[in-house]
């Protein structure tokens, strides 16, 4: 019987990436939107991506009684001393939209009279099983943030995040997964899960 795992995100983009990466594993992935009950979001007061992903995974595992996989990821911009970092999703305030977060990032660069900066996407993934077993995986992707947005794919800061000549938002899902921070973390997690589920 397939292992049922809750993916602790409402972001359908992330859900699609995980379903694609885990398609060869004997798992059934369930997004938060598919759960019959809606839960208030946990307080993410960790001081790192890993700490926040663990908070989410433990919380939804306890609430649903199912194994849970949670990610915490974000953007670290060199000239902004690593900001927005763990505050990437709420850079412009709680419940900020992608557009609002991007507008704040652009204005920060413009305040420094810069057209761009080296930056990196970071991702931490945590799996928590109902027996308390935990698995951790991390990934990163280096690139540059520029003021010009390009591309229609992706989400978050993708239209402004350049890897070489292309933005993340100009890549196909497969291209993005091959180099992205989340793609790297998910690939590592798929290997860890494969070994864990084989036991």
Q: What is the pLDDT of residues 141-163, one digit of tens each?
A: 999 999 999 999 888 999 999 99
Distance CA 79, CA 83 (A): 9
Average pLDDT (12-33) is 87
Q: Please report the pLDDT score of residue 1 as a whole number.
A: 83
pLDDT at position 124 is: 97
pLDDT at site 180: 86
Handedness of CA 75, 151, 69, 194 (dihedral sign): negative
Give Cα 99 to chain centroid, integer Å.
17
Domain enclosing residue 63, as ranges: 3-198
> How confident is the model at residue 195, as a pLDDT?
94
* CATH number assigned to the domain comprising residue 95: 3.90.950.10
Confidence of residue 118 (pLDDT cuts 50, 70, 90): very high
How many structural domains does the chain have?
A: 1
Q: pLDDT value at position 12?
A: 80
CB 146 within 8 A of CB 164: no
- The residues carrying an active-site annotation are 72
Query: Residue 183: which pLDDT band, with cuts at 50, 70 and 90?
Result: confident
CB-count burial class (<10 Å; 0-12, 13-18, 19+) for 194 = middle
């Amino acid at each position: 019987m397939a292992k049922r795992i809750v993916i602790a995100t409402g972001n359908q983009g992330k859900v699609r990436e995980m379903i694609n990466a885990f398609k060869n594993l004997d798992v059934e992935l369930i997004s938060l939107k598919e759960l019959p009950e809606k839960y208030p979001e946990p307080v993410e007061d960790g001081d790192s991506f890993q700490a926040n992903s663990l908070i989410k995974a433990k919380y939804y595992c306890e609430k649903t009684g199912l194994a849970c996989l949670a990610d915490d990821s974000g953007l670290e911009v060199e000239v902004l001393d690593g900001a927005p970092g763990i505050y990437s999703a709420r850079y412009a305030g709680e419940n900020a939209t992608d557009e609002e977060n991007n507008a704040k990032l652009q204005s920060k660069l413009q305040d420094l009279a810069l057209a761009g900066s080296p930056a990196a996407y970071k991702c931490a993934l945590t799996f928590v099983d109902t027996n308390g077993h935990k698995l951790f995986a991390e990934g990163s992707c280096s690139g540059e943030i520029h003021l010009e947005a390009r591309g229609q794919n992706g989400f978050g800061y993708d239209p402004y995040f350049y890897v070489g000549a292309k933005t993340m938002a100009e890549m196909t899902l497969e291209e993005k997964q091959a180099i992205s921070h989340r793609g790297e973390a998910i690939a590592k997690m798929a290997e860890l899960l494969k070994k864990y589920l084989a036991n």
